[in-house]
């Protein structure tokens, strides 16, 4: 990757991370302070949460539009900045937020009905809230990325892994090229980025065959089998940790990272 494009990607990913974390931390903070978690508390939570959610989504969409535009300029492609379509971003998840953000309460009530202690039930609701918020932030990013890439002059893009660990499914997806008309598939908790493939020809389906083979090999060694389709074992539940050092990449079940949280 050219140095200018790499610098743009790094700055963009950091800005998205800061925005996402700010929204998630806000939501988890007010969730933890609701008190009785009755209907009135949940109504007040939703009233405070939804505007902050929308603000974060629009911010991430704006960052994404600017990133794609600057990347195109770095590649010598003169295209206008694609404005954020707020209706597109708000409709990225086909459910009303007043319905969606009642789900953490439903999770909490369900846990209580199963005789879990109140603290554990509230924590289960917080996990659900975290998944909802991170997914909605990601949907804003992918929706704007598709809109911007389709008008950028690029034909293909690739998924970009973020952070020190990613699920095996995302790691495999990062080795492939996708057409800009296709919205990047995600799963709950996914935070992958996107990078245009700066080529005026089809670079081929597999962009990184070495990483593709390595991930399948790691999964096979860890889980006793691998599947080129990423289904069995469930690659979404396997974390691939990339490390600098003598041990290289390691693998763990996603559940291992949440042993302190209720099932």
- Is the domain of 163 the same as that of 83? no
Amino acid 248: pLDDT: 33
Provide the pLDDT for residue 261.
29
**Same domain, yes or no: 9 and 62:** yes
Q: Are residues 135 and 256 in the same domain?
A: no
Cβ-based burial of 90 (10 A; exposed 0-12, middle 13-18, buried ≥19): middle
Shared domain check, 139 and 17:
yes
165 and 240 in a single domain? The answer is: yes
Residues of the domain holding 212: 155-263
For the chain, how many structural domains are there in total? Answer: 2
Measured from the Cβ of residue 249, the count of other Cβ atoms closer than 10 Å reads: 14
pLDDT digits (tens, 9 = 90+) for 127-148: 999 989 998 998 898 889 888 8
129 and 44 part of one domain: yes
Last residue within a domain, chosen from 132, 153, 174: 153
Pairing of strands 238-241, 177-179: unpaired
Which of the given ranges, 34-38, 101-105, 181-185, has the highest pLDDT on average?
101-105
Taken in order 130, 131, 133, 137, the sign of the CA dihedral is positive
How does pLDDT run across 215-253, given as a tens digit for each residue? 777 777 776 776 666 566 666 666 555 443 322 334 444
Q: 3 and 42: one domain?
A: yes
Q: 239 has which bridge partners?
A: 167, 252
Q: Given 115, 132, 153, which residue is the final one in a domain?
A: 153
Torsion angle of alpha carbons 205, 211, 215, 216, nearest 10°?
Answer: 50
Give pLDDT tens digits for 153-201.
788 888 887 765 677 777 777 788 888 777 665 566 677 777 887 666 6
Q: Are 250 and 256 contacting, i.e. CB atoms less than 8 angstroms apart?
A: no
Q: Are residues 117 and 149 in the same domain?
A: yes
């Amino acid at each position: 990757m050219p140095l200018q494009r790499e610098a743009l990607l790094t700055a963009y990913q950091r800005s998205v991370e800061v925005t996402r974390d700010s929204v998630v931390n806000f939501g988890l903070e007010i969730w933890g302070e609701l008190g009785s978690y009755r209907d009135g508390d949940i109504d007040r939570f939703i009233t405070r949460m939804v505007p902050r959610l929308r603000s974060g989504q629009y911010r991430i969409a704006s960052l994404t539009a600017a990133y794609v535009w600057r990347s195109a300029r770095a590649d010598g492609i003169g295209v206008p900045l694609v404005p954020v379509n707020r209706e597109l971003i708000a409709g990225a998840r086909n459910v009303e937020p007043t319905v969606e953000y009642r789900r953490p309460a439903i999770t909490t009530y369900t846990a209580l009905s199963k005789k879990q202690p109140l603290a554990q039930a509230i924590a289960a609701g917080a996990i659900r809230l975290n998944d909802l918020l991170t997914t909605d932030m990601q949907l804003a990013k992918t929706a704007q990325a598709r809109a911007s890439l389709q008008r950028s002059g690029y034909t293909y893009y690739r998924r970009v892994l973020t952070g020190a660990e990613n699920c095996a499914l995302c790691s495999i997806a990062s080795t492939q090229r996708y057409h800009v008309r296709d919205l990047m598939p995600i799963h709950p908790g996914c935070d992958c980025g996107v990078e245009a493939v700066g080529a005026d020809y089809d670079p081929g389906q597999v962009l990184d065959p070495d990483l593709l083979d390595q991930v399948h090999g790691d999964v096979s060694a860890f889980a006793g089998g691998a599947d080129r389709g990423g289904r069995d074992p469930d690659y979404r539940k396997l974390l691939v940790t990339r490390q600098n050092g003598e041990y290289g990449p390691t693998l763990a079940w996603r559940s291992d990272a949440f042993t302190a949280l209720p099932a």
